[in-house]
């Protein structure tokens, strides 16, 4: 993708749904962070260790928010119809993810500020450890 001024980009998303076969069974939730390799790319001439760290931290931010949503869903009381509360929690999670993602890009200057990038890397890795119980 020449002429864009980008060395690469990754496409990630968080998907969530639930299943409740009937009113007498417990609601089962599924939340996944996805890295889409078919929509992600990196210029082989611009590939650097720092660039790869930038993209790894980016995906890990998605994983942190997936784990946080799993925790939130696991500790909530949904009542008879889980749909409205589930949708509210999912929407809040996506808003928080977008805000943190944009803050990460801004503070690291899209990965150009190596010091800021390493600070983010450490912080996000610590969050993943804190949320290890909600890995899957």
Give residue-wise pLDDT tens across range 3-28. 445 678 899 999 999 998 777 788 89
- Residue 20 in any domain: the answer is yes
- Residue 2 in any domain: the answer is no
- Residue 3 in any domain: the answer is no
Residue 15's Cβ-side half-sphere holds a number of Cα atoms within 13 Å equal to 5
Query: What does the pLDDT read at residue 99?
Result: 98
- Domain span at residue 111 reads 8-134
Please give the tally of structural domains in the chain.
1
Residue 32 has pLDDT above 50, yes or no: yes
- Specify which of 21-30, 74-83, 113-122 reaches the highest per-range mean pLDDT: 113-122
């Amino acid at each position: 993708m020449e002429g864009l001024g980008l060395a690469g980009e990754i496409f990630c998303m968080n998907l969530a749904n639930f299943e409740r076969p009937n009113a007498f069974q417990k609601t089962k939730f599924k939340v996944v962070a996805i890295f889409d390799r078919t929509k992600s790319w990196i210029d082989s001439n611009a590939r650097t260790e720092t660039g790869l760290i930038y993209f790894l931290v980016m995906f890990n931010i998605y994983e942190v928010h997936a784990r946080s949503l799993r925790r939130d869903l696991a500790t909530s009381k949904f009542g008879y119809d889980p749909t409205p509360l589930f949708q509210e929690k999912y929407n809040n999670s996506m808003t928080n993810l977008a805000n943190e993602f944009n803050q990460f890009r801004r503070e690291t200057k899209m990965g150009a500020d190596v010091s800021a990038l390493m600070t983010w890397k450490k912080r996000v890795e610590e969050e993943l450890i804190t949320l290890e119980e909600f890995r899957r």
